[in-house]
Amino acid sequence: MKLKKAKKIGDGSIVSLIPHDRTDWLLIQSKKGLILTDIEGKLIKNLGSQDNFKLNEQKTAIALLKSDTLSFFIIPKLKLEVISICGKYSALTFSHDGRKLGYFRDMDKNTQLCVYDMDSTAVLTTSDRLMSKGMQFGDDILSFSPEDNFIYFYIKSQSKVRHRDADLITTDVTIWSYKDVRLPSGKIENPKDQVFAAVIPITSNSPFVQLETESSKLKSFGSGNKYVLTRNVVNQAESYYRPELREFCQLIDISSGKIIRDSLDFSATLSPSERFITWSNATTGKLFFYEITSKKLCTNAIADGGNPYVAGWESNDDMCYVFDKYDLWRFDPKGNVKATNVTNGYGRKNGISFNFAGEISLNAVVDRGKRLLSAVDTETMANGYFVVDLNHLVNPHECFMDARLYELNIVGAPPVIRKAKHADKFVMTGQTASEAPNLFVTDLKWRKQVSTVAPQKPYNWLKSELINYSLNNGKNNKAILYKPENFDAQKKYPIIFYYYQGLSSELNRFRSPQLLGGIINIPWFVSNGYLVCVPDIINDKPGYITETTVDAVVSAAKFLMKYPWVNSQKMGIQGHSFGGYETNILVANTNIFAAAQASAGFSNAISDFGDVRFGNAPMSQHWEKGQMNFQVSLWDNPELYVNNSPVLKADKITTPLLLEYGIYDENLFRQGREMFNALRRLQKPAWLLQYTENHILQKQENILDYNIRQQQFFNHYLKGDPAPVWMTNGVSDGDREFISGLKYETIKR
């Protein structure tokens, strides 16, 4: 494949590539207005300056809004049609087939919902039917149903004047009651109009149907052709000990608003043809299929399958496809046909985890035939693709697997593989820890790299390797070890351990050397002479976070200490959020680390259990059932909470600790102050960086400041660099507007 030199076209920004018969066109937003050009930059059509515009998904039409004129431009015909020339317009929304345009029109303080049909040029308008019920249009949000026969929108009650009680003495009181469904926020806010989702057919004079109320909300806006699922509005955070607050779903007929099925599991989803409702139980591995018309419930289970999920359906919802931890299964939702393992157990036998590759959403329709699967080797973290035959129970065919990251369900994952429109070829990205993401072209037999982006080339970059080591119970655990590109086994390197929970799947992820508002900048530290180890921490035993954290990290440290190129006297630890909590746990339970930096982490399970977050969310749920998952309350097992409260072991801490918190991080900022004040009282070396921010730093100046101070801290304790002034003398409140404290003392440790 020969790549042509890039060519600049015009002075604007490209909005979209428009497919055309002979040559593709470009839609460009420029100083001259909205223009269409060919691929070489030759002008096709100048649509002029527009206040707003909307391109349909098919790229065949553009809705144009200029002043009080709404127009419709048909791209293939280069034809402009004026829809309306009076009023203010908003929420321009195309139907799924791209041939209808929904919008709001405001005329003389009367807002109308309109739908323009490109084929008939008719405009459906509705407003009076809403006003008669004392309702008005709400937020400017529209969505067509999947078959474009209904349109969803928001409504709200017309504003009412509220009068104060004659005996109201003060508004400066907040009343807390044990009967409240939610805790009060403690803030007096201006009352806002509540908005509720509604739906109306676009081809008849039927009245609109209100789908939401104060006590129920849609699970997905604009989700169905026949039905929608709503959820009850409850305090889910406390439902685990208050059964009356249990969250559930209802099935609603959108034509009538009638409740078809009540008290469905909260994880319920609709099948594409809306014949079934499905949900699963992660604990038992069971899948549930409820047939709407027959009202029959069918249950299927995958033995030792982890948490199964429905990933796709055949046409008319006749069969569905389900992934467990490793393999793909074909299920009959009516239970008449035994479930079959489509990948023939190949995934579980070989430790490979499969998923549908490319752009396929959950509950999508899957055609019978051959399908492309993305694959991850759970032992080596190799990534690649297989082809599975949905019609025959044979092992899936391996296309390729190697030590690159192509497609994986992680934060910041690469774009999924895409197929050419008229050829059996695919384009994808590939990356490793030491190679930036680049484009590859493949026919699934051969693959060729077609771009050579290498921003890391001028620098001493890093390389990653997967290490396996034993935990105290003899089980194997994984960790990623990052070494500098110029690694020399004859040298001794300081090492920093960074962690969260399970991160070994990111072995081949390319990490950009960007400033980060919480976690460690791995490329920077490795490029500057550090090793970085990222061990998996699997908290699989409720209430034993301390034990599993110490075991995973200390065992990794002891494993690496055996190598002569690891300086066992210069080992540091760093984590953010849950990782910050793990850092506090580690310094309170071991003394093998020379420096520790914890950001936004917990320190006291007991005090936080009785605290609140986000204004009115009790933290008890977080410890009993949430991420901490203790499974017991403070009163059921107080020793468990004591053991998982590192601040209560502050007197045992010997590791210098740098803390970082945002003051708007509510309870976590309080947790940070507890930890710092305990260490300060005990005269242990500790510092707290306090920023006027939330859980993750967002302001670039704060992120830069935090990264520099974090690097100075580790360089001092792990490399012997001089301590900066902010560590030795501090920076007073009166000086912080003038003095950074970033300068170094001249005496080296």
pLDDT over threshold 90, residue 354: yes
pLDDT confidence band for 476 (50 / 70 / 90) = very high
pLDDT over threshold 80, residue 536: yes
Distance CA 724, CA 674 (A): 25
- pLDDT of amino acid 185: 64
Return the ∠ at Cα 136 (arms to 133 and 141), rounded to 5°. 135
Q: Is residue 699 part of a domain?
A: yes
- For the record, the structure tokens of 232 come out as 């009850």
pLDDT confidence band for 553 (50 / 70 / 90) = very high
- The rounded percent of the chain whose pLDDT value lies above 90 is 54
Pick the more confident residue, 14 or 198: 198
Q: What is the residue range of 218's domain?
A: 212-266
- pLDDT of amino acid 287: 87
Q: What is the pTM of this model?
A: 0.83
Among 35-39, 323-327, 437-441, 705-709, which is the least confidently predicted range? 35-39
- pLDDT of amino acid 192: 58
Tell me: do 391 and 504 sit in the same domain: no
pLDDT confidence band for 409 (50 / 70 / 90) = low
Q: What is the pLDDT of residues 45-66, one digit of tens each?
A: 899 898 899 999 999 999 999 8
List, in order, residues 6 or more apart from 443 with CB less than 8 Å away. Answer: 424, 425, 426
Considering Cα of 498, then 504, then 508, then 510, what sign does the dihedral take?
negative
Distance CA 709, CA 415 (A): 34
Residue 262 has a CB neighbour count (10 Å cut-off) of 10
Round the average pLDDT of the chain to a whole number and report it: 88
Q: Is residue 623 part of a domain?
A: yes
Q: 293 by DSSP, 3-state: which?
A: coil
Q: What is the pLDDT of residues 490-528, one digit of tens each?
A: 999 999 999 998 999 999 999 988 899 999 999 999 999
pLDDT over threshold 70, residue 10: no
pLDDT over threshold 50, residue 252: yes
Pick the more confident residue, 503 or 111: 503
pLDDT confidence band for 304 (50 / 70 / 90) = low
Tell me: do 355 and 291 sit in the same domain: yes
Helix (H) or strand (E) holding 300: strand 296-301
- pLDDT of amino acid 156: 83
Tell me: do 514 and 377 sit in the same domain: no
Instruction: Read off the pLDDT of each residue in 356-381 and give the average, rounded to a whole number.
Output: 81
Greatest mean pLDDT among 55-69, 128-142, 213-227, 649-663 = 649-663
Tell me: do 590 and 722 sit in the same domain: yes
pLDDT over threshold 80, residue 180: no
CATH number at residue 576: 3.40.50.1820
Closest CA to 584 of 641, 659, 494: 659
Tell me: do 617 and 696 sit in the same domain: yes
- pLDDT of amino acid 342: 93
Pick the more confident residue, 40 or 670: 670
- pLDDT of amino acid 135: 76
Tell me: do 394 and 516 sit in the same domain: no
- pLDDT of amino acid 365: 67
Picking from 355, 372, 401, the residue at the C-terminal end of a domain is 401
Pick the more confident residue, 277 or 615: 277
- pLDDT of amino acid 360: 62
pLDDT confidence band for 582 (50 / 70 / 90) = very high
pLDDT over threshold 50, residue 743: yes
- pLDDT of amino acid 429: 92
Tell me: do 578 and 688 sit in the same domain: yes
CATH number at residue 359: 2.40.128
DSSP 494-540: EEEEE-SS--GGGTTPPPP----SSS--HHHHHHTT-EEEEE-----
- pLDDT of amino acid 737: 84
Closest CA to 591 of 563, 567, 557, 559: 557
Q: Is residue 583 part of a domain?
A: yes
Output the CA–CA distances (angstroms, integers) from residue 423 to 254, 371, 418, in the order listed. Answer: 41, 16, 11
- pLDDT of amino acid 2: 45
Q: What are phi and psi of 248, to 5 degrees?
A: -145, 175
Instruction: Read off the pLDDT of each residue in 693-698 and give the average, rounded to a whole number.
Output: 94
Pick the more confident residue, 485 or 118: 485
Q: Is residue 736 part of a domain?
A: no
Instruction: Read off the pLDDT of each residue in 173-193 and give the average, rounded to a whole number.
Output: 63
Q: Is residue 492 part of a domain?
A: yes
Instruction: Read off the pLDDT of each residue in 570-599 and give the average, rounded to a whole number.
Output: 98
pLDDT over threshold 60, residue 5: no
Residue 502 has a CB neighbour count (10 Å cut-off) of 14
Picking from 225, 246, 266, the residue at the C-terminal end of a domain is 266
pLDDT over threshold 70, residue 137: yes
- pLDDT of amino acid 1: 38
Q: Is residue 53 part of a domain?
A: no
Q: Is residue 99 part of a domain?
A: no
Pick the more confident residue, 156 or 253: 253
pLDDT confidence band for 203 (50 / 70 / 90) = confident
List, in order, residues 6 or more apart from 131 with CB less than 8 Å away. Answer: none
Tell me: do 334 and 381 sit in the same domain: yes
Strand ranges (E), 332-369: 340-341, 352-356, 364-365
Helix (H) or strand (E) holding 642: helix 638-643
Domain tally, the chain? 3
Tell me: do 282 and 318 sit in the same domain: yes
pLDDT over threshold 50, residue 188: no
Tell me: do 484 and 374 sit in the same domain: no
Among 5-9, 89-93, 707-711, which is the least confidently predicted range? 5-9
Q: Is residue 483 part of a domain?
A: yes
- The rounded percent of the chain whose pLDDT value lies above 70 is 92
Pick the more confident residue, 246 or 374: 374
Q: What is the pLDDT of residues 617-654, one digit of tens each?
A: 889 989 998 899 999 999 999 999 999 999 999 999 99
Tell me: do 494 and 380 sit in the same domain: no
Picking from 382, 401, 420, the residue at the C-terminal end of a domain is 401
Give the CA-trace dihedral at 404, 409, 412, 418, to 10 degrees. 70
- pLDDT of amino acid 635: 96
pLDDT confidence band for 9 (50 / 70 / 90) = low
Instruction: Read off the pLDDT of each residue in 394-408 and give the average, rounded to a whole number.
Output: 91
pLDDT over threshold 50, residue 24: yes
- pLDDT of amino acid 178: 67
Tell me: do 278 and 244 sit in the same domain: no
Residue in this structure with the two tokens 């194997």, named with its chain if needed: 476
Q: How far is CA 244 from the centre of its chain?
A: 30
Q: 286 by DSSP, 3-state: which?
A: strand
- pLDDT of amino acid 594: 98
